Structure 1
Amino acid sequence: MTKNTPSSSQIHLNILTFLLFTLPFHGNTQNNNPNQEQTILLSLKQHWSNPPSLSHWTPSSDHCTWPEITCTDGSITRLEIINGSITETIPPSICDLNNLTYIDLQWNYIPGFFPTVLYNCSKLEYLDLSTNYFIGAIPDDINRLSSRLRYLNLGVNNFTGDIPPAIGSLPSLTSLQLVTNLFNGSFPPEIGNLSNLEELVLSYNAFAPQSIPSSFGNLTKLRNFWMTEANLIGEIPDAIGNMSALEYLDLSVNQLSGSIPDGLFLLNNLTFLFLYKNSLSGFIPRRVEALKLQVLDLSNNTLTGTIPEDFGNLTSLTGLALFFNQLSGEVPVSLGTLPQLVDIVLYTNNLSGQLPPDFGRNSPLKTFQISANQFVGELPKHLCANKVLRGVIAFENKLTGEIPDSLGDCNSLEIVRVDDNRFSGKIPDGLWTSVNLIRLMLSGNLFAGQLPDKIGPQLALLELMHNKFSGPIPAGISSWERLTVFRASNNSLSGVIPQELTALPLLSTLSLDGNQLSGHLPSDIISWRSLTTLDLSRNQLSGEIPAAFGLLPDLLYLDLSRNAFSGQIPPEIGLLRLSSLNLSSNRLSGRIPVEQAFVSFHCCGLKFSCSGFSSGRPIYNIFEEKLQKAKARKDSTWKLTSFQRLNFTERNILSSLIDDNQIGKGGSGRVYRVPINHRSGEYVAVKQIWDDVNENSKLLVYEYMENRSLDRWLHGKKRPHSISGSVHHVVLDWPKRLHIAIGAAHGLCYMHHHCSPPIVHRDVKSSNILLDSEFNAKIADFGLARMLVKHGEPNTMSVVAGSFGYMAPEYAQTRRVNEKIDVYSFGVVLLELITGREAHNGDETSSVVEWTWRHVQEGKPIDDALDEDIKEPLYLEEINTVLKLGLICTSTLPSNRPAMNDVLQILLRCSQRPTSEEKTNRNEYDVAPLLHNSKSDRSSESDDSVFSSV
C-alpha cells in the first residue's frame, strides 16, 4: 500500500461525511431540536402560499402552542390543518418532522396525485387527506406507507381506477375510508387480509360491477362495514356471518340478489343493518339472535313470506323499514310491544289481517306508515300514548271503524293520511284543531258530519274528497289562515259559498266540485291572489260569473261546468293565462273571450257551439273541400264547419297555399303558415290533407303556434325559428318544461275524463305538442284519435298505428285501445323533457324509457340523467318527482299507470313550489300521491330516508 492510497476506513469515513452534509432530513435521524421544527413549519407555510388560516404561525411564538400543532416531550407529533384553504401540494419537507405520527389535512384544496412523499414519514399512524382535490390512481406501492399506519382516510376526492391490492399489506390498519371518489375499477379481495381492520368505508363509488369477496369474512374485528352505492352485484356471501364484531352494516342501493344469509341475523353485536334498494329475494331469516339491533331497513327489495315472529324479540329496535317488498301475512302481535320502537314503515306490501293493538302503548312511536297493504279492522288506539307521534300514514287499506279519539289528543301530529279506506263516523274534534298538524288527508272513506269552524293553526293541506260530509261551509272558515290546499269534492256540502272563504290569502287549490252548493259566487275575491286551481263544477250555483275572477294573477285551472250560471262570460276571463277553462253545461250567452288562447277551452253551453277539445282540435275552423290536385279553383265546392267566429275567408287561405309559406310536411300532407291580417301580424296554420283515391282534400285550419313543436326544441339541430326567421336564444329551462307538461296533460285529461265517450289520441309525442309564443302547449294531430266504445263492444284496432318509441307495449302486441296507451306515451314525453334524449334513442341500444329505467335501477345519480339546460339545484326536487312520474307512466303493466287526471294533479303540485318549511315537512306521498300505488314491475322508487320523517 502506497502512502497516497487511502485506507478502507478513511474511504468509509469520507462517504459518511458526505452523506451527513448532503442528504436532507427525511425522518431518518433522531429528534429535531425545537428551532429546526419551527423552521420546517414556517417553510411549510411558505410553500402553501401563506394561507390566512396560518397567519399566527410566526417565529416570535412557540409553535407548540399553535392550535394546529401537538407536541409530545417538546417534539411535534400531530399536525392538524382542517379547512385551512391550502391550495398547494404536500412538500417532502413535511416528513422532516421526524416524530410526526398524526397528519390531518382534510377539507382543503390540495391538488395533484397521491403524495408519495409521505412514504418517508416513518412513524405515521394516522393520515386523513379527505375532502381535497387529489386525482389519479392510488399508487400500486401504497403499502410503502408506514407499517404503523392505523387510520387512512382518502374519502371525498377524485381518485380513479382500481384500489390496488397492496392496500391489503398495511398490517396495522384499523380504519380504511375511501368514500365518494371516482373509482371505476375494482376493489381487491386482499382487503380481507387486514386482520386488524375495524372500519371499512367504500360507499358512493362507481366500481365496475363486482361481488363482495368471501375473503371479507376474515375481517373478524370489523365493526363498521359501509358500501352504499358501490355497484355491488351477486349474493351476500355466507362468510359475512363470520364478522362476529360487526355492529354497523350498510350495503344499500346496490344490485345484490339472492337471499339474506341466515348468519347475518345471528351476529350478536349487530346494531344497524341497511340493505334497502337491492334485488334481494326470498324469505327474511326466521331465526333472529341479533338482539342489539336498533335499526333494520330491508326496504325496496323483492322479499316474500311473512315478517318473522322473532322480530318481537328485538327489544332494542327503534326503526323497522320493510316497505316496497312482497311480504304477506299478518304483522306479529309482538311487534306492538317493542319498548323502544320509534319508526315502523311497512307500506306497499301484501300484508293483511288486523294490526297489533299495542302499537305505541309502550314505546315513543313517532312514525307509523302502513299504507298500500290489505289491513282490516281498526287503527290501533294507543298510537299516541307517549305524545310524540308525528305521522299516521295508512292510506289504501281496508281499515274500518272510526278514527281513534286518542288522535284527537295528540298535539305532536304533523300529518294524518288515511285516505282510501272504509273509515266512518265523525272526525275527533281535537284532530281538526291539532296545533302542529300540517296535512290532514281523509278522502275516499265514509266519514260524515259537518266541517268545523276552526282548524289547527298550522294546517296547510286538507283533503276530504269522496266522503259524506254535509251541511254548510262554516263562516269560521275565514280563520283557516294557513290553508293552501282545500279539496272537498264529491260530498254533500250545501248552502252558499260564504264570502269568508275568499279571505284565505295562501289558498292555491280549491276543489268543491260534486256537492250541493247553491246561490251566487262571492264577488269580492281579492284575497285569492295565490289561487291556481278552482273547481266548482257539478253543483247548483247560479247567477253571473264575477268579473273579479279575471283578476286572479296566478289562476291556471278554472272549472265552473255543470252549474246554472247565466249571463255573459266576463271579458276579463280572457286576460287570464289559463291552462284550462271549462264553462260547459251552464246557461251562458254572448261572446266567448278570445284574448287568451287557452290550452284547454270548453264552453259548450246553451247558446254556444262547442269549441275544440284538448286545444289540438282546430280552434278556428275546419274546411272540407273537393279540389282537383292539379289546380285550386275559386269556384270549388266547399263544406265549411266553423267552431268559432272567423276573421278570415276561404280566399285568404287558398291564395296563400304556396311553396314560400310551407313550413312542414308530414305523412298525410303539407303544412303552411298563412297570414290572415298583415297589419296585426296574425297567422294561422293550415294542414292540407290529400286523399289519393278520390282526389279530394281537406284543409284543417289551426291557430298558428309560433314556437312550433316541442320536438324541435328538444331534439332539433337548431332552436326553432321565430316569425321573422331569427333563431331563438331562449333556453328551454325547467319552469318552461314543466309548464309545457302541464299544458299537454290538461289536453289529454280533458279527452280522457271530460269527453263522452272518452277519446284516446293514440299518437302522443313531442312532435304533436305545439307551443305558442308563451310556451303554452297544445295537443295536435288527431289523425289517429279514437272514441272509446261502449262497455261490451270490442276496443281493438285492426292495424297498430302510432310512433316508434312512444307506443305502449300492450298496444303493439294486442292492438287493444284504452286511455293507458296515451298515459304511456305521455310518460315518454316527460322523460324526453327531463333527459333531452329522443324517445327511440336513449343510447345506441335502447329507447329513452329503457335507458332511464336502467339508469335508476343501477342507482346512478339523478343529476347524470338530466339535460344540461335543466341542471339547476333549485329545481332538482321537482325534476326528481316528475322523473318518477314519467317512470310510473311507462310501467309495462297498464294497471300500474296512473290516470291522466292524477298525472295532471301531480304536475300542478310540482308547479306550486313549496317554502323551505314545507319542504322540511314534506312526505314523499304528499308531492306525488300516486307514486305509492304504482309499484312498477320494473322497479320501485322511494325516498331513502324514512325514519322519523313524515
Structure 2
Amino acid sequence: MSRLPLLLLSILVLVSLPFEVISQNVNAEKTILLNLKQQLGNPSSIQSWKNSSSSPCEWPDVYCVEGTVAGLELGNKNITRTIPASVCDLKNLTYLNLNWNYIPGGFPRVLYSCTRLEKLDLSQNYFVGPIPDDIDRLSSLRYLYLQGNNFTGNIPPQIGNLTELRTLFLHQNQFNGTFPKEIGRLSNLEEMALAYIDFVPSSIPVEFGQLKKLRLLWMKLANLIGEIPESLSNLSSLVHLDLAGNDLEGKIPDGLFLLKNLTNLYLFKNKLSGEIPQTVETLSLVEIDLAMNQLNGSIPEDFGKLKKLQLLNLFENHLSGEVSASIGLLPELRTLKVFTNNLSGFLPPKMGLYSTLEEFDVSTNQFSGQLPENLCAGGVLQGVVASENNLSGEVPQSLGNCNSLRTVRLYSNNFSGEIPAGIWTAFNMTYLMLSDNSFSGGLPSKLAWNLSRCELNNNRFSGPIPHGVSSWVNLVVFEASNNWFSGEIPVEITSTPHLSNLLLDGNQFSGQLPSKILSWRSLTSLNLSRNRLSGQIPKEIGSLPDLLYLDLSQNHFSGEIPPEFGQLKLIFLNLSSNNLSGKIPDQFNNLAYDNSFLKNSKLCAVNPILDFPACYSKLRDSKTLFSKILSLILVLTVTILFVTIIVTLFMVRDCQRRKQKRDLALWKLTSFQRLDFTEANILENLTENNLIGSGGSGKVYRIAINRAGDFVAVKRIWNNEEMDDKLGKEFSAEVQILGTIRHANIVKLLCCISSENSKLLVYEYMENHSLDEWLHGRKRSSSIGESAVHHPVLDWPTRLQIAIGAAQGLCYMHHDCSTPIVHRDVKSSNILLDSDFKPRIADFGLAKMLAKQGDAHTMSSVAGSFGYIAPEPNGGDDEHTSLAEWAWRRFGQGKPIFDSLDREIKKSCFLQEMTTVFDLGLVCTHTLPTTRPSMKDVLEILRRCSPATNGEKKTAFEFDISPLLGDVTCLSSNGRGNR
C-alpha cells in the first residue's frame, strides 16, 4: 500500500508532460506568426493577430491540426512584400494560400524549407521570371496553383518529379517557351490547366495519355499544333476536355466519344477536319462545342442519345445532311447552334417541346419546310435565328406568346403570312429582321419598348405607318424598302430620338413630307425614293446634323431645292426624277453630284458646271450686256498685245507639264466619295509648310482644296523603296474598313492615291484635331502657322457628348455593320473632333473585320502605339501600365472615385454623371469578356447620363450601374499582372 502514492505521482508527471510541450509549441508558433505579420508589412486584414493569451489556433485565417498550425489562409490580404523565409518555421505547415495579393519577385525558393507543404496557392500575384528547375524540392506537393502571374520561359521538366501532384494550375501566365512531356509521369494528377498561354507552337505529347486519373485537361488558347493524339482516348477518368482556340488539325480521335465520364468537350476554333465520329458512347456529355473548324460529313445520329446534353455548337463548319429528329427530343438541350454549314432537310419538328430551349440558330444553311412549332414551349427562348435558308410557311403562332424573345432573324427565306402579334411587342425584343420573304399584314401601333432594329425590306407588308410610331423610342434602324405600304408618312415618325437609318423606298407613300422634324438629330440615312410623295421638300431636312445619305428620287416633289441643303455634309444625294425647279444650291454645283438632279427639267445653276442651263436674272438689261461686251473686247485686246510673251511662256510650261503628266501617270487615285479635287491638287501641296504631324506610320498634311477655305487631311503611309509589311497591312486595313463603311462618327476616307513606293490616304479635315490634345496637351497650335496658345478646358457636357458620339461609332461597327468590325486601337489620340466638337473615330490601321466562313478565325497580335486593348486579343503587350489597370487597382483599393477625376472638372455639378461613366469604364474593361456590356448597352447608359433627356435631368438611380461592378475580388479571372 505504501507504493500507491508514488505510483500516482509518476502517472501525474507522465500525463502533464505533453501539455507542457504543447504549451511551449503554442508560444513558439505565436511568436513565428507575429514575426511573419511584421515581415509582411502588418497588413490591416490580419491586425487581429495579437500577442494575447489565446492560442493562435483561435486566430482568423490560421488552421490547426492537433493543436499545431497546419494552414494559413492569407488570400486577398493586400500583401505587397515578398514571402519571408520565417513562414517555414511553422514545421507542420501543409497548406499556404497567398492568392489575390500583390506579391512581387521570382518564384519563392524560401518555401523549399516547408518540407511538409502539400498545398501551395500563389495565384493572381505579380510573380515574374521562370519557374525554377529545382521546383521538385517541394516533393510533398499535391496541389500547386500558380495561375494569373507573369511567369516566363519554359515549364521545367523537373515538374514531372512531383509525383504526388493532384492539381497543377499554371494558366494565364506569360510562358513563352515550352511545356514538358515529363508531365505525363504525374500518375496521380487529376486537374491540369495550361490555358491562355502563348507557348511556342507545340503539339500535345502522346505521354499525356498516361494520366489515367486526369479529370480536367484545360489547354485553351495555348498555341497547340498538330493532331490530337489518339492516346488521349486512354484518359478514362476525363470529365472536362478543353483544347479550344488552337491550331490543331486532322481528325477528332474516335476514342474521345467513347470516354464514359466525359461531360464537357470543347474543340472549337481549331483547324480540325474530317467527319465527327459517328459512334458516341459517352452518354454523360453535357456540352459539345466543335464550332469554327473544317469538319465535314453529317451530324452523328448518336447525338440524339445524349439525354444530358445541354449545349451543341457545330457552327461554321462544312457539315451536310439533315439534323436528326432525335436531337429535338433531348430533354436538357438549351443551346443549338449549327449556323453556317451546308445542312439541309427539315428541322427537328419537336425541337423545344421537351426541353427549356434558350438559343436556336440554324442560319445560313439549306433547311426547308417550316419552323418547329414548339421552340418556346419552355418559355425561356431568347433567340430564333433561321435566316438565309429555304424555310417556308407561316411563323408559328406560339412564338407570339414567347415573352423571353430578344431577337428574331428570319430574313432571306420563303416565309409568308402575317407575323404573330406578340412578336412585335415581346418585352425583351431587340432585333426583328424579316427582310426578303413574302410576309404580309400591317404594322402595329406599338412595338417592343427596347426594339432597336426592325428590318422588313422586300416583303408584302401594306397599310400605313401608324401614328403610334412615336412610341418606338429606342428604334435605331427601320428599313421597310420594297413593300406595299401606303398613305402619308406621319409626323410622329420624326419624334424617334435615336433613329439613324430610315429606308422606306419602293412603296406607295403619298402626300407631303412632314414639315416639322422633331427629334431626328441622329439620322444618318434617309431613303424615300420610288414613292408618290409630292409637295415641297421640307427645308428642315437641311438642318439634320448627321445626315450623310439622302435619296428622294422618283417622286413628285416640286418647288425649289431648299437652300438649307447646302449645310448638309452629304456623301450621297439623289433628287432625280421629280418636278423640282429653280436654282441648284451652289454647294452641289460640281461634278461630285452630276447624277443627283437628273430629270428635273426646270432646274438651273449659276455658272453651271453640271449639265443644266444657267439661271438668268430678270433685271438684266441691254446696258449690262453692252458693258460686258466692252469688257470682253478689252480683254481680247490685252491678250493680243501679250501673245508673244504668252507663247514663250507656254513653251516653257509645256515642257514642265509634260514632266508633271509623266509624274502623275505614276499615281493612281481610288475614290470612295464624290470628289471636287484631283490628285494634282494633293500632290502639289505635299510640302513642309503644310505638315501638321508625324508618327510611326508616316506624316500628315493639311491641304487646301479650294479658295473657299476647305481643307483635307492627307496621311502619307510610307515612302521607301521597299514595301514595309506592317505599314502595308495598316494601309490595307484602313482602306478596307473606311472604304466600305459610312457613319457620322467615323472619319470619312475620301480617296487613296498610290504609287509604287508611296501611299496617300485623304480624309475630311478635323478642325479641332484630336481629343488627346484637348485632354492632355497643355499647349497646342490653334491653327497652322499660329503660335502655341493655351487651349480652354473641355467642360463635362462636351466630354460626355464626345463619349456618346464615339460610342455611336463603335456601336455601328459592332452591331450594325454586315460584317462586324473591331477597332483594336481606341484611344483619345484616335478620336478626332470637328469644329463643333463632334467626334470621329480614326486610324483603322489595326482594325479587323470579324471572320466570315473561310477566313482566318484568329486575331493577329496587336502592334502599334499603346491604347487600351482587351486582354483576349492582346498579343502579349504589357497591359500592366494601362489606364484600365490603374483604374481597377484604385477601385480594388477602395479609393474614392472623386480622387480619380480630372481636377479641372471635378468641381462641376455633374459628379453623379462622372461617377457613373467611371463605373461604366470599369465594367467595359473587365477581364472577363462575358461580363462586359455590349456597345449598344454602353451607348444607352451614356445617353441616360446626358444632362437632359426631354428637357429633364435624369436622377442618379436611373443610370447608376455600380451594382454591375460587384465584388472586385470575384470579377477577374485574369492575373493581376496579366490584364
TM-score after normalising by structure 2: 0.66
Determine if contact 2:714/2:760 at 8 Å carries over to the other structure.
no
Q: 1:575 aligns with which of 567, 571, 589?
A: 567
What's the counterpart of residue 865 of structure 2? 868
| SS of equivalent to 1:79 | strand
> CA separation in 1, counterparts of 2:873 and 2:536?
43
Look up the SS of the partner of 1:156 in the other structure.
Answer: coil
Measured in 2, the distance between the counterparts of 1:242 and 1:708 equals: 72
Over 3 Å counting, the alpha-carbon distance change for 1:411 and 1:765 in structure 2 is farther
Residue type of the alignment partner of 1:216? F
| 8 Å CA contact 1:480, 1:504 repeated in 2 | yes
Deviation at 1:684, TM superposition (A): 9.1
**Where does 1:382-461 land on structure 2 (aligned, <5 Å)?**
382-461=374-453
Distance 1:39 1:138 in 2: 31
Mapped partners of 2:231, 2:685: distance in 1:
68
Residue in 1 that maps onto 2:701 = 720
Whole-Å Cα distance in 2 between the matches of residues 604 and 107 of structure 1? 67
Quote how far apart the aligned CAs of 1:376 are: 0.4
* 1:589-604 paired onto structure 2 within 5 Å: 589-593=581-585, 601=593, 603-604=596-597
1:265 alignment partner, one of 257, 262, 267: 257
Determine the C-alpha separation between the residues in 2 that align with 1:35 and 1:509: 76
Map 1:811-890 to 2 at 5 A.
Answer: 864-868=861-865, 871=868
The 10-residue stretch of structure 1 (416-425 or 448-457) with the greater mean CA deviation from structure 2: 448-457
Distance 1:913 1:206 in 2: 29
Change beyond 3 A, Cα 1:142–1:305: same
In structure 2, the residue matched to 1:59 is 51
**Residues 1:745 and 2:740 aligned together:** yes
1:473 deviates by 1.3
Question: Whole-Å Cα distance in 2 between the matches of residues 46 and 268 of structure 1?
Answer: 52
- Kept in 1: contact 2:754–2:760 (CA 8 A): no
The alpha carbon displacement at 1:236 in A equals 0.8
Alignment of 1:159-170 (within 5 A): 159-170=151-162
Amino acid at match of 2:664: S
| Superposition deviation, residue 436 in structure 1 | 2.1
Deviation at 1:656, TM superposition (A): 15
Answer whether contact 1:104 1:128 (CA < 8 A) is retained: yes
1:508 match: 500
2:476 aligns with one of 484, 493, 497: 484
Q: 1:70 to 1:41 in 2, by over 3 A?
A: same
Mapping of residues 165-184 of structure 1, within 5 Å: 165-184=157-176
Distance 1:719-1:55 versus aligned 2 partners, 3 A rule: farther
Alpha-carbon displacement from aligned partner over 1:746-766 (angstroms, at most 9, x marks no partner): 799xxxxxxxxxx99999999
Secondary structure class of the residue paired with 1:273? strand
Residue 915 in structure 1 maps to residue 908 in structure 2: no
Q: Answer yes or no: is 1:134 the counterpart of 2:115.
A: no
Partner SS for 1:868: coil
Structure 2: any 5+ residue segments left out of the alignment? 1-20, 611-637, 668-674, 718-730, 744-750, 770-817, 830-844, 875-933, 943-979
Q: Which residue of 2 aligns with 1:110?
A: 103
- Matched-pair contact (CA < 8 Å) for 1:31–1:99: no
Q: Which moved more, 1:868-877 or 1:441-450?
A: 868-877
Structure-2 residue corresponding to 1:84: 77
Q: Please tell me whether the aligned partners of residues 352 and 373 of structure 1 are also in contact (alpha carbons under 8 angstroms).
A: yes
RMSD (Å), alpha carbons: 5.0
Paired residue for 1:222? Answer: 214
Unaligned runs of 5+ residues in structure 1 are 1-28, 616-632, 639-649, 672-682, 689-699, 749-758, 778-825, 837-846, 878-911, 921-950
Deviation at 1:740, TM superposition (A): 8.9
Q: Which residue of 1 aligns with 2:137?
A: 144
From 35, 43, 47, give the equivalent of 2:35: 43
Distance 1:727 1:719, change over 3 A: farther
**How far does residue 455 in structure 1 lie from its aligned partner after superposition?**
2.0
SS for the counterpart of 1:180 is coil
Partner of 1:904: none
Instruction: Count residues in correspondence.
Output: 728
Instruction: Say whether residues 1:668 and 2:634 are aligned partners.
Output: no
CA distance 1:709–1:391, shift in 2 (3 Å): farther
Cα pair 2:504 2:529 within 8 Å, conserved: yes
Partner in structure 2 of residue 244 of structure 1: 236
Asked if the contact 1:577/1:598 (under 8 Å) is kept, the reply is no
Please report how far the alpha carbon of residue 917 of structure 1 lies from its aligned counterpart in structure 2 after TM superposition. Answer: 8.3
2: CA distance, partners of 1:69 / 1:662: 89
Secondary structure in 1 aligned to 2:326? helix
Shift in Å, 1:658: 13
> What is the TM-score normalised by the length of structure 1?
0.68
Q: Does 1:499 align with 2:495?
A: no
- 2:527 paired with 1:535: yes
Once the two structures are overlaid, the 10-residue window that deviates more, 474-483 or 218-227, is 474-483
Q: 1:876 to 1:599 in 2, by over 3 A?
A: farther
Aligned mates of 2:688, 2:519 — CA distance in 1:
35
Verify: 1:101 aligned to 2:94, yes or no. yes
1:73 aligns with 2:70: no
Shift of 1:670: 10
**1:253-292 → structure 2 map (5 Å cutoff):** 253-292=245-284
Give 1:541's aligned amino acid. Answer: L
Residue-by-residue CA offset, 1:832-854 (whole Å, 9 max, x unaligned): 99999xxxxxxxxxx99999999
- The residue type paired with residue 373 of structure 1 is N
Tell me which residue corresponds to 1:630.
Answer: none
Distance of 2:383 and 2:415 partners within structure 1: 18
Equivalent positions of 1:549-588 (< 5 A) are: 549-588=541-580
Q: Over residues 579-633 of structure 1, what are the superposed CA-to-partner deviations in whole Å (9 max), with x where a residue is unaligned?
A: 433333333344444569999756323255899xxx9xxxxxxxxxxxxxxxxx9
CA distance in 1, matches of 2:30, 2:477: 66
CA apart distance, 1:322 = 0.5
- Shift, 1:338, TM fit: 0.6
User: 486-495 or 69-78, which moves further after superposition?
Assistant: 69-78
Report which stretch shifted further, 238-247 or 554-563.
Answer: 554-563
Indicate if the aligned counterparts of 1:77 and 1:102 stay in contact, CA closer than 8 A. Answer: yes
What percent identity do the matched residue pairs reach? Answer: 48
Amino acid at match of 1:588: L
2:348 maps to a residue whose letter is P
How big is the shift at 1:571? 2.7
